[in-house]
Amino acid sequence: MINNILITGAGRSSGALIDYLSRFSVESGWTLTVADVSLEAARSRTRGHSNAKPVAFDVHDSEARAEQVSKSGIVISLLPPQFHQLLAEECIRQGRHFITASYLTSEMRSLDEQAKKKGVLLLNECGLDPGIDHMSAVNIIDRLRTEGAVLKAFRSYTGGLVAPESNDNPWGYKFSWNPRNVILAGQGTAKYIYEGKFKYIPYNRLFTDIEMISVAGVGNFDGYANRDSISYRKTYGLEHIDTLLRGTLRSPGFCRAWNVLVQLGMTDDSYLVTGLPDLTYASLIRSLLPASFDSISDLREAVASFCHLPSEGEAISMVAWTGILEDEPVGIPDASPARILQHLLEQKWVLKPDDHDMIVMQHRFDYVKDGLSKILYSDLVVQGIDSVHTAMAMAVGWPLGIVTKLLIEKKLNLTGVHIPVMKSIYDPVLAELEGLGIKFEERTTG
């Protein structure tokens, strides 16, 4: 028996997972290998964990891939999504389980039959969102069904935010995960079901199509649609539901201000801004404004006029706060507007060592039972503990860790390609998460 767990990727959200699995593996006699392209990153994550070993690892190196997978019974990938397939294919070849928090792709799905033949589990979407959201939602959907309720609408919103006491900027936002993903969030076309109609929301309208979401104890949020909700009809067993929407939460006002940046084209990652020596943020914004606004000499006024917003209003003030209207050098050559925006916001939306992040999730179930219409809300609020145990790192890492433990303890007997919507996963994972302080609060109205 090969009793080693391989974690690939030692980034921002790996700390809580490594701590969790290190503790468990000491108890169970397993070891842990943390593999990253930067040996230094792997070293800093494994420091103080006697049974965890850092290694330098390039996922593109097929020999290194084969070697590390061969030495491990279970592989957890925290790498960027585009690298999962390489690892999953190697895991199938060598008969190892593979777990990730990333969205299931059709490419990954196509490995289902091979995985079953080899007795291997390829588990995807097993982090926070996607992950805990699926488990907690399907748990309630299954319960309501057992109780004889008919579900009419399901909405689920999640946000990775900053805790109120650590908020010192008008966006109510700091980076608690990969900044690039935050900048590019929502690109593509969002899809959901609303009152019996499919809805397709192009990116350029995404941040105007928002809903206000109230969560007890933490207040109101902007909610906007996240990716393809329609595909979860089948996954959740809700083929005939009238409304099905997964979304993302941001502080109130965030979406309106972010939309200014989207409309300007600052989140465009499709081309490089080149041939402009001495490029400043202000000159880039001028380049993005239609020529008809060139006659407005004050840039803030020009942007406000372009967006049909008051120049002293909240949204434009938030945009101005970032510094993007200033005549300051951009300082990075040949980058896309999105990369330039990321560079700027990485200096502004910093989660400082003493700051706490916060996860907020809300499910809303509209159902009919015994002839009565009711609404059930299930809310989750998690605050970060420190800069390693951020709410994000715990909420993404722990589900991965708990499933790994279930596999090692032979408490999970599942093969093929899956996401965690089955009782055999969500029951033990939600129970252990609750013990760790990740606990939903329910209330029913109507």
Of 66, 150, 216, 276, the one binding its own copies by CB under 8 A: 276
Pick out residues in 221-240 that bind its own copies (CB under 8 A): 230
Q: Which amino acid, residue 68?
A: Q
Pick out residues in 386-405 that bind its own copies (CB under 8 A): none
Q: Where are the alpha helices (DSSP H) in 386-441?
A: 391-408, 423-435
Of 107, 271, 439, 443, the one binding its own copies by CB under 8 A: 271
In the bound state with its own copies, the residue whose beta carbon lies nearer, of 212 and 372, is 212
Shortest CB 292 distance to its own copies, Å? 8
Pick out residues in 279-338 that bind its own copies (CB under 8 A): 283, 286-288, 290-292, 294, 337
Of 148, 202, 219, 437, the one binding its own copies by CB under 8 A: 202
Pick out residues in 15-34 that bind its own copies (CB under 8 A): none
Our finding on whether 200 is near its own copies (CB under 8 A) is yes
Our finding on whether 75 is near its own copies (CB under 8 A) is no
DSSP, collapsed to helix, strand or coil, labels residue 70 as: helix
**d(C-alpha 219, C-alpha 167), whole Å:** 14
Residue whose C-alpha is closest to residue 128's, from 177, 58, 84: 177
Which stretch of DSSP H or E encloses residue 203?
helix 203-206
In the bound state with its own copies, the residue whose beta carbon lies nearer, of 118 and 199, is 199
Helix axes 314-321, 254-264, angle to 10 degrees: 70
Shortest CB 201 distance to its own copies, Å? 7
Q: Which two tokens stand for residue 61?
A: 């190196």
**d(C-alpha 139, C-alpha 421), whole Å:** 8
Our finding on whether 105 is near its own copies (CB under 8 A) is no
x-or-dash pattern for its own copies, window 179-198, by CB under 8 A?
Answer: ---------xx-x--xx-xx
Shortest CB 228 distance to its own copies, Å? 8
Phi then psi for residue 182, to 5 deg, are: -70, -45
**d(C-alpha 51, C-alpha 3), whole Å:** 12
Per DSSP (E only), the strands in 177-260 are 189-194, 197-202, 211-215, 219-225, 243-250
Stretch that binds its own copies, among 56-64, 90-98, 264-272, 370-378 (CB under 8 A): 264-272
In the bound state with its own copies, the residue whose beta carbon lies nearer, of 286 and 389, is 286
CA angle 401, 74, 409 (to 5 degrees): 65
**d(C-alpha 340, C-alpha 330), whole Å:** 7
**d(C-alpha 103, C-alpha 420), whole Å:** 12
Shortest CB 268 distance to its own copies, Å? 6
**d(C-alpha 364, C-alpha 444), whole Å:** 10
In the bound state with its own copies, the residue whose beta carbon lies nearer, of 118 and 286, is 286
Q: How far is CA 327 from CA 57, 152, 262, 263, in A?
A: 41, 52, 20, 20
Shortest CB 309 distance to its own copies, Å? 16
The answer to whether 390 and 384 have CB atoms below 8 angstroms apart is yes
Of 75, 99, 249, 273, the one binding its own copies by CB under 8 A: 273
Our finding on whether 275 is near its own copies (CB under 8 A) is yes
Side-chain half-sphere of 411: how many Cα atoms within 13 Å?
13
Residue identified by tokens 């596999």 is 407
Our finding on whether 62 is near its own copies (CB under 8 A) is no
Q: Where are the alpha helices (DSSP H) in 1-61?
A: 15-28, 39-46
Shortest CB 287 distance to its own copies, Å? 5
Stretch that binds its own copies, among 49-57, 203-211, 320-328, 395-403 (CB under 8 A): 203-211
x-or-dash pattern for its own copies, window 328-357, by CB under 8 A?
Answer: ---------x--------------------
**d(C-alpha 264, C-alpha 199), whole Å:** 25
Q: Which amino acid, residue 399?
A: P
In the bound state with its own copies, the residue whose beta carbon lies nearer, of 3 and 292, is 292
> Total number of residues binding its own copies (CB under 8 A)?
33
In the bound state with its own copies, the residue whose beta carbon lies nearer, of 212 and 291, is 291
Our finding on whether 53 is near its own copies (CB under 8 A) is no
**d(C-alpha 208, C-alpha 229), whole Å:** 18
Our finding on whether 205 is near its own copies (CB under 8 A) is yes
DSSP, collapsed to helix, strand or coil, labels residue 112 as: helix
In the bound state with its own copies, the residue whose beta carbon lies nearer, of 337 and 384, is 337
In the bound state with its own copies, the residue whose beta carbon lies nearer, of 273 and 335, is 273
Report the interface residues with its own copies, using CB under 8 A: 188-189, 191, 194-195, 197-202, 204-205, 208-209, 230, 263, 265, 268, 270-271, 273, 275-276, 283, 286-288, 290-292, 294, 337
